[in-house]
A and B are shown apart, each in its own frame.
Chain A
């Protein structure tokens, strides 16, 4: 049974979003990391890249699979968690601590389309 952090929003493609003012902090859920197995690489966008909701913004790689990271919101990338470059296993160890990027949101109303913790729990049940 995977863990679900209560105070976050979730996408159907298993990214989580923590809202901090106009900034969305994005990572992947415990369920996602469990499905992937040992994560070997995190492909991240560059700083200042514009990402749009529903499009890929990077990918997670494990030995035998890869999974696209799908942007839950649109906006500009203002920070990347560069520690993951060398230590991708942090996502396995602490999926809700190991954020991937921070995005300055272009349209906060996009958050409305995301799932809350209990709806996401239903999804991955």
Chain B
């Protein structure tokens, strides 16, 4: 990766353009229309709401525009001057080739799944199949307006029906809504459904939701946005939800519990049956955070574990590209109990991120009922393999079998080298860093998740580098404190960035 310094604004030169537009869309093609022909004006009330033509604004100046747009100037313009922009619009003025080179250069400072391995816990960065991109760009899908009549969108509607059926089969839920655009958006939608369920029963006192201390940050944040108060249940020594600690929290004020299973330590919550019984007995519902669904793909169905509501991250479990932070999709599935409320919350503009849903559907059809059975298992295999291969150099607080991910608590022999140092040094060796300092249960957490699309050779190369870093920590800790050394930039001054924020180009 090569450091490239420019912002697009810095390439700007007055008079340069990167667009190509027709001169007019009113003039009949190939024929020069008579002046004014394109604006067949009827007499229109020049009422008080209508003022002088010069006030249409510079943008409608015929000299600068189209030669067939000159007719309104003498006639009845219909706008108030006040509605037009006066402030200059200071966008870059660049040529097409400037744009292509600039963004190509930017891209070369980026790491992606196609560049290398992401051992990124709780984020499931699996390979993004290329056929999915082509499917999503088919003109028969990309050109559809979301409000077109159903008779003209039958193929798109079949995508939703097919996905609903497939996700129901995979998860054991009844039906899904596809409106949520991301995992956290799905959580919010799911909690709204939880509230609808209780409200429909007149059970208005249920305003609290239980969240384990190991939960993803979005869980409590989504609950708060949904107007719920958070009650934290702590994990036991074994990293699992402490059922005895849960019991006293349950009561008539509990709307439900949010769990991810396996949890963020990669451990299967084996008491889930008892937890489900306890929560249901107190009148609450169980929410499944699908961020950690990958190890269960083709093995275990959340619906069978007693969950009433769940979301899936199509950009994790179902292989759609992460796009540098999005777009994703967070469809929400429900059990029979919650089904009547599924379509009440209107949480986004149209039909959700259709383009993402298409990609995920293509992935599911490639997997089919045959290959899906191996997806979760191979992910779990990779995680356990790394764990066993590195536990003599890194502190493994919970040694039991993990699922798709596991957590180290820093180096065994740290010599003053922190988890952050290890993560940054990995960048030098061409790997993305793992998720670090999460979950909050450990001080030096390194959370590793390989996914089923990584080969034994890739895992071995990662393991070798992790061992090398452990050696470097003993021999030359300074080297690690200063890492990374081979990336386009070194460690940034984040303190100044936050104290005196510079958030735009001036």
Which residues of A pack against B, CB within 8 Å? 38, 40-41, 61-64, 88-89
Contact = CB atoms under 8 A, between A and B. Distances in A.
B437 interface: yes
A38 B495 CA distance: 7
Nearest to B499: A40
A56 to B, nearest CB: 14
A25 to B, nearest CB: 24
B498 interface: yes
A93 to B, nearest CB: 13
B30 interface: no
Contacts of B494: 63
Given A40-B495, A40-B498, A41-B499, 12 more contacts: A38-B495, A40-B499, A41-B498, A62-B495, A62-B498, A63-B494, A63-B495, A63-B497, A63-B498, A64-B437, A88-B499, A89-B499
Contacts of A63: 494-495, 497-498
Contacts of B497: 63
The 3 closest A-B pairs by CB, nearest first: A40-B498, A38-B495, A63-B494
B258 to A, nearest CB: 22
Nearest to B500: A86
Interface residues of B, number: 6
16 contacts: A38-B495, A40-B495, A40-B498, A40-B499, A41-B498, A41-B499, A61-B498, A62-B495, A62-B498, A63-B494, A63-B495, A63-B497, A63-B498, A64-B437, A88-B499, A89-B499
B221 to A, nearest CB: 13
Nearest to B494: A63
Nearest to B498: A40
A38 B497 CA distance: 12
Contacts of B437: 64
Interface string B231-247: 00000000000000000
A41 B498 CA distance: 8
A11 to B, nearest CB: 22
A78 to B, nearest CB: 27
A30 B289 CA distance: 39
B442 to A, nearest CB: 15
B439 to A, nearest CB: 15
Interface string B190-221: 00000000000000000000000000000000
A123 B494 CA distance: 31
Interface string B474-506: 000000000000000000001101110000000
Contacts of B499: 40-41, 88-89
A60 to B, nearest CB: 12
A62 B497 CA distance: 11
B333 to A, nearest CB: 34
Nearest to A89: B499
Interface in B420-468: 437
Nearest to B492: A63
Q: Which of B437, B494, B497, B499 is most buried by chain A, counting CB atoms within 10 A of its CB?
A: B499
B71 to A, nearest CB: 56
Contacts of A40: 495, 498-499
Nearest to B495: A38
A70 B216 CA distance: 25
